[in-house]
Amino acid sequence: MHKEKFDRLVKIMRKLRRECSWDRVQTFDSIKAATLEETYEVLEAIDSKDYDDLKGELGDLLLHIVFYSVMAEEKKLFSINEVIDGISEKLIRRHPHIFSNVNVKNNKEIERNWEKIKMEEGRESVLDGIPKALPELQRSSRMQEKASKVGFDWQNKEDVWKKVLEEIDELHKIEEENNKEKLEKEMGDVFFSLVNYSRFIGINPENALRITNTKFMNRFRFIEEKLKEKDKKITDSNLEEMDKYWEESKTTFE
């Protein structure tokens, strides 16, 4: 990366903060939602393998990092240079097998060292640092990953699958009691065990669910389009007709 190009972006943002009435009134809180939206747009571009779009979305995300940093600079909290220095030093510190004389045998040891170094940096728990605002599937996955890195884990995937079936069975039994509070807890246990099994077979549960959601959305819109061709609204259709088009949609959206 040419330093001049990055400096130009920072200068543009500073100018906008001075001269654009919209940019000037923004705060850390006011652009949070947009930052999250930009992050998801990056993920969508990756999922669709649209790399021209990904290039643009990464630019939008970079803009937000610069935006926050310039606002912090104005308040004399920190500068963009401190942000860059901070992450550079962290990467060096947490990769002693690259930048120091630490020997590791495999990626498991690298991950274990990573967690050990974070604890030495002042974290009280291995689970510290997992954002509470993460989607719960992703948060569950991260907790299980971190616990696994320090040796707290199942020994094989067969036992994890048995746990999934056990939790589903418990959920079914609780359902008969008609106790919503208990049912909610048991449903949570089912999700947690499924996330754990996903980890064991190398599947990101958040990605898996996003793919399924996208598939459902595409198939449902297919139904709407087919009905529109017949000058019908979906509210004028019935389950039998919709189900017919749903089956047709499977040849297009697998």
What is the distance between the alpha carbons of residues 191 and 58, in angstroms, rounded to a whole number? Answer: 32
Average pLDDT, the chain: 92
Instruction: Tell me what pLDDT residue 57 has.
Output: 97
pLDDT at 133 over 90: no
Mean pLDDT over residues 143-168, rounded? 93
Instruction: Tell me what pLDDT residue 1 has.
Output: 59
Mean pLDDT over residues 35-61, rounded? 93
Ranked by mean pLDDT, which of 56-60, 133-137, 173-177, 212-216 comes out on top?
A: 56-60
What is the distance between the alpha carbons of residues 54 and 57, in angstroms, rounded to a whole number? Answer: 5
Q: How confident is the model at residue 35 (pLDDT cuts 50, 70, 90)?
A: very high
CATH 1.10.287.1080 fits 1-92, yes or no: yes
Instruction: Tell me what pLDDT residue 101 has.
Output: 86
Start-to-end C-alpha separation, the chain: 40
What is the distance between the alpha carbons of residues 228 and 251, in angstroms, rounded to a whole number? Answer: 19
> 1-92 and 136-203: same fold?
yes
**Residue 28 CA: distances (Å) to CA of 20, 24, 69, 140:** 17, 12, 10, 27
Instruction: Tell me what pLDDT residue 73 has.
Output: 97
Tens of pLDDT, residue by residue over 201-222, are 999 998 899 889 999 999 999 9
| Domain 136-203 CATH class label | mainly alpha
Mean pLDDT over residues 121-147, rounded? 87
pLDDT at 47 over 70: yes
Mean pLDDT over residues 14-22, rounded? 97
Tens of pLDDT, residue by residue over 225-247, are 999 999 999 999 999 999 999 99
CA 48 from centre of chain: 16
Q: Which residues fall within 8 angstroms of residue 83, CB to CB, at 6 or more apart?
A: 65, 69
Instruction: Tell me what pLDDT residue 102 has.
Output: 87
Instruction: Tell me what pLDDT residue 111 has.
Output: 84
Q: How confident is the model at residue 150 (pLDDT cuts 50, 70, 90)?
A: confident
| % pLDDT > 70, the chain | 100
Instruction: Tell me what pLDDT residue 87 has.
Output: 95
pLDDT at 152 over 70: yes
Instruction: Tell me what pLDDT residue 254 has.
Output: 77
The structural domains of the chain, with segments of one domain joined by +, span 1-92, 136-203, 208-252
pLDDT at 122 over 80: no
What is the distance between the alpha carbons of residues 22 and 25, in angstroms, rounded to a whole number? Answer: 6
Name the phi and psi angles at 124, rounded to 5.
-85, -25
Decide which of 177 and 56 is more confident: 56
What type of residue sits at position 61? Answer: L
